[in-house]
Amino acid sequence: MSRIGPGGAKARPKSVLVWTAVAVVGAVAWGVLALSRGEKISAIWLVAAALGSYAIAYRFYSRFIARRVLGVDDRRATPAERLDNGVDFHPTDRRVLLGHHFAAIAGAGPLVGPVLAAQMGYLPGTIWIIVGVILAGAVQDMVTLFFSMRRDGKSLGQMVREEMGPVGGAAALLAVFSIMIILLGVLALVVVNALASSPWGTFSIAMTIPIALFMGLYLRVLRPGRVMEATVIGVALLLLAIAGGGWIEGSPLAGAFTLSPQTLVVCLVVYGFFASVLPVWLLLAPRDYLSTFMKVGTIGLLAVGVLVAAPHLRNEAITSFALDGNGPVFAGSLFPFVFITIACGALSGFHALIASGTTPKMIQKESQVRLIGYGAMLMESFVAIMALIAASALEPGLYYAMNAPAGLLGTTAESAAAAVGKLGFVITPEDLRAAAAAVEEQTVIARAGGAPTLAVGISEILSGIFGGTGFKAFWYHFAIMFEALFILTTVDAGTRVGRFMLQDTLGNIWKPIGRVSWKPGLWGTSALVVLAWGYFLYAGVSDPLGGINQLFPLFGIANQLLAAIALTLCTTLLIKSGKLRWAWVTAIPLLWDAAVTLTASWQKVFHDDPKIGFFAQRAKYADALAAGKVLPPAKNLDQMHTVVVNSTIDGVLAAMFALLVLLVIGNALVVCVRAVRAREPLPTAEAPYVESRIVAPSGLFSTAVERRAPAYAGAAEGTGTGAAAGRDGEEAQAP
């Protein structure tokens, strides 16, 4: 039954014609991107190149992976069918699961990374986002999802331990935990940079807390389970809060919401602690509903905006920073740093944590890993393309004035305009003041982190369609709010997940800590986790060299190294299950990812340019400090001290991540060699074969053959019996 799929076995003339047309559109768009030099091109070409390539890749490459490489078998019952308990295991309609999975993987990453990578021009980013997702990112998500599904939804860490051994398992666990801490620190830093001295933004974000508490109580006490009602009320209140922020800004209350970065750090750390110890129903769950709704809505809005407004790209195709590696936003040349920076939109290791665990326990049919694993990642990649367009449509002078570190730009419009001029771009102090006034912010200078830049880009695009220039400030704060909202949701959930990991690990040493309900253990581990990411956040805001400049590469390296662990696991499992000849499907992305990431780690640790190498930087500032000198951009000896401490810690972390990943890869190599030499396939932890009794479509739309099957589950409620076939949504399912 794995043969059931769109198009059937033989190619029909109509299908050949359609796919040829898609290929031609994609190829023409790529041609325009490649050949245009000097003239400003329309963003539509980027969109066409992306969508054309995604369609071809999904239709052909993902089908090849599903059928040949993985051998998905729809006669085999999935864990959702075998272990159906109506709680965590239950067969869920593929379209619903696609929505859940997409909401879980998409976040601020694909929005922020491409904005920073726009420093290298739009072309390198576009190529990597599209090629990377097709050959690496979507493959990783789909293959991890498949293997976890075959193992009853085991987590990445469990699979590494069971399939490779305790050494690799321990290394993977430690890597996952420390990577998560860096992730939370950097994401929180993006929020702080977006909210610092912005009463409008701070007020609207602060209001999300009472709104979430209200929704929590509504769902608990007033109308249990009416999520839609609560969400509609919540979103309405949220829009009011955004509009209210504009009023607060001009009122005497503005002072109370104008916070320094340091104060915001304290607020976030305290908030993170409470979010982790309070019951989920009160804060985390309602906030999650809000953020998911806003996420999907805004991404949709942005897609409409980009298509309708079709802005021209003002950014260059490839900037000089890509080649000489001295860009102000982040240092280092195109290889490897563009790949490190874009991370989430092309290949994201964190997705392996989602693709193993929750999603595989709910999948109806094995063949659906293609739609959910590969398909959802293509959608995320498209989000990254839109973010790149929004950033590249901005005037380059404004882009650099917003994204270069404060140490370089100074604090006044004049100093910033002069600094941008030195970089080779033109912007006048008046332009900078006008840009800030248009979005009703005090300043747009040195607002690194990607979120403010993207918000300006989004406000340009959306105000062109909805509301005109008078709405620029609203759309700007709308965009800031939605980014901050789902970053904070990630921080909530991440702190909690980190706390569980810590409790689990420490529980091996001292039993009571492992008990989820033991309050002192819960408070202690929560505090440890928030203090850990809080440290990086604080280091980020106080670093004179610019927190984003220093920490974002570390975040990218961490994410990509996690991808290396996931791809290593996938390759090992392919080889162990006797599919050595198909192992290249994950081995090639692994080799590329390892080459990129280990080069980047190597450079961050050993490079002798203090702008790139953490230890070279440390030496430079430590020597000056010993001589009692102050090096700019540091302003005093205290700041010199900060630089020395931060660069030491960052350097040690970069080295540690790389070593952990090398340990996992080494462990995998031993297992792979053993598997290749063995006469019989090595034992794996795969769950035994059980015959499936349900039939459900593989693709987004059901085919006629699938609908005729007697056990067809269609859009039934997913009870797994197929008895209630085709109620509700079924008749809406036009092919």
Partner 1 sequence: MTPRSLLSFVRWYVREITGEAEYDRYLERHRAHSPTPPLSRREYERLRIDRRDADPGARCC
CA distances to 188, 234, 406 from 534, rounded to whole Å, are: 9, 29, 21
* 215 touches partner 1 by CB under 8 A: no
- Tell me the β-bridge partners of 92: 363
Q: Give the separation between CA 265 and CA 267, rounded to whole angstroms.
A: 5
Among 478, 715, 722, 725, binds partner 1 (CB under 8 A): 715
Among 29, 43, 65, 105, binds partner 1 (CB under 8 A): 105
3-state secondary structure of 695: strand
Each residue 180-209 as x (binds partner 1 by CB under 8 A) or -, in order, gives: ---x---x----------------------
* Residue number with CB closer to partner 1 (525 or 642): 525
Q: Which two tokens stand for residue 195?
A: 């909210």
Minimum distance of partner 1 from residue 99's CB (angstroms): 5
430: Cα separation from own chain's centroid: 36
Q: Give the separation between CA 722 and CA 403, rounded to whole angstroms.
A: 54
DSSP state letter for 724? T
Main-chain phi, psi angles of 42, to 5 degrees = -85, 150
* Residue number with CB closer to partner 1 (272 or 494): 494
Q: Give the separation between CA 241 and CA 696, rounded to whole angstroms.
A: 43
* 560 touches partner 1 by CB under 8 A: no
* Residue number with CB closer to partner 1 (598 or 715): 715
Stretch that binds partner 1, among 38-46, 97-105, 450-458, 612-620 (CB under 8 A): 97-105
* Residue number with CB closer to partner 1 (92 or 577): 92
Q: Give the separation between CA 676 and CA 486, rounded to whole angstroms.
A: 45
Minimum distance of partner 1 from residue 728's CB (angstroms): 4
Give residues 507-546 in contact with partner 1 (rule: CB under 8 A): 516
Reported as type and span, the H/E element at residue 74 is none
Each residue 279-298 as x (binds partner 1 by CB under 8 A) or -, in order, gives: xxx--xx--xx---------
Among 86, 252, 255, 470, binds partner 1 (CB under 8 A): 86
* 107 touches partner 1 by CB under 8 A: yes
Each residue 40-59 as x (binds partner 1 by CB under 8 A) or -, in order, gives: --------------------
Q: Give the separation between CA 48 and CA 29, rounded to whole angstroms.
A: 6
What is the full DSSP assignment across 464-481? HHTT-GGGHHHHHHHHHH
Q: Which two tokens stand for residue 691?
A: 């015959």
Main-chain phi, psi angles of 425, to 5 degrees = -125, 155
Minimum distance of partner 1 from residue 378's CB (angstroms): 15
Among 3, 12, 40, 226, binds partner 1 (CB under 8 A): 226
* Residue number with CB closer to partner 1 (292 or 403): 292
Q: Which residue has the tokens 């608990």?
A: 220
Among 168, 201, 589, 718, binds partner 1 (CB under 8 A): 718
CB neighbourhood size of 297 (10 A): 12
Stretch that binds partner 1, among 34-42, 196-204, 225-233, 466-474 (CB under 8 A): 225-233
Burial class (CB in 10 A: 0-12, 13-18, 19+), 630: middle
* Residue number with CB closer to partner 1 (132 or 464): 132
Main-chain phi, psi angles of 646, to 5 degrees = -60, -45
Minimum distance of partner 1 from residue 353's CB (angstroms): 5
Among 21, 88, 426, 511, binds partner 1 (CB under 8 A): 88
Q: Give the separation between CA 121 and CA 117, rounded to whole angstroms.
A: 7
* 717 touches partner 1 by CB under 8 A: yes
* Residue number with CB closer to partner 1 (96 or 304): 96
Q: What is the CA radius of gyration of the chain?
A: 25
Q: Which two tokens stand for residue 134?
A: 């097709």
Q: Give the separation between CA 696 and CA 717, rounded to whole angstroms.
A: 12
Minimum distance of partner 1 from residue 690's CB (angstroms): 20
Query: Hey, what amino acid is at 653?
Result: L
The long-range contacts involving 516-522, CB below 8 angstroms and separated by at least 24 positions, are: 522/277
Minimum distance of partner 1 from residue 701's CB (angstroms): 11
* Residue number with CB closer to partner 1 (110 or 336): 110
- Tell me the β-bridge partners of 363: 92
Minimum distance of partner 1 from residue 331's CB (angstroms): 22
* Residue number with CB closer to partner 1 (441 or 492): 492
Stretch that binds partner 1, among 99-107, 158-166, 466-474, 665-673 (CB under 8 A): 99-107
Q: Give the separation between CA 491 and CA 533, rounded to whole angstroms.
A: 10
Give residues 313-352 in contact with partner 1 (rule: CB under 8 A): 344, 348, 350-351
3-state secondary structure of 574: helix
3-state secondary structure of 698: coil
* Residue number with CB closer to partner 1 (414 or 731): 731
Among 23, 27, 209, 227, binds partner 1 (CB under 8 A): 227
Q: Which two tokens stand for residue 367?
A: 């063949």
Give residues 447-506 in contact with partner 1 (rule: CB under 8 A): 486, 489-490, 492-494, 496-497, 500
Q: Are 446 and 416 a contacting pair, CB within 8 Å?
A: yes
Main-chain phi, psi angles of 685, to 5 degrees = -90, 20
* 160 touches partner 1 by CB under 8 A: no
* Residue number with CB closer to partner 1 (202 or 490): 490
Stretch that binds partner 1, among 40-48, 86-94, 129-137, 191-199 (CB under 8 A): 86-94
Among 59, 82, 100, 611, binds partner 1 (CB under 8 A): 100
What is the full DSSP assignment across 72-109? --TTBPPHHHHS--SSS---B-HHHHHHHHHHHH-SSH
Main-chain phi, psi angles of 392, to 5 degrees = -80, -15
* 228 touches partner 1 by CB under 8 A: yes
* Residue number with CB closer to partner 1 (240 or 516): 516
Minimum distance of partner 1 from residue 603's CB (angstroms): 23
Minimum distance of partner 1 from residue 343's CB (angstroms): 8
Among 220, 433, 611, 707, binds partner 1 (CB under 8 A): 220
Among 13, 38, 224, 470, binds partner 1 (CB under 8 A): 224
Q: Which two tokens stand for residue 210?
A: 């009472």
Residue 13 sits at the vertex; the CA angle it makes with 376 and 27, to the nearest 5 degrees, is 55
Q: Are 122 and 313 a contacting pair, CB within 8 Å?
A: yes
* Residue number with CB closer to partner 1 (109 or 397): 109
The residues that touch partner 1, with contacts defined as CB under 8 A, are 86-88, 90, 92-93, 95-96, 99-100, 104-109, 183, 187, 219-220, 224-228, 231, 279-281, 284-285, 288-289, 344, 348, 350-351, 353-354, 357-358, 486, 489-490, 492-494, 496-497, 500, 516, 559, 715, 717-719, 724, 728-729, 731-734
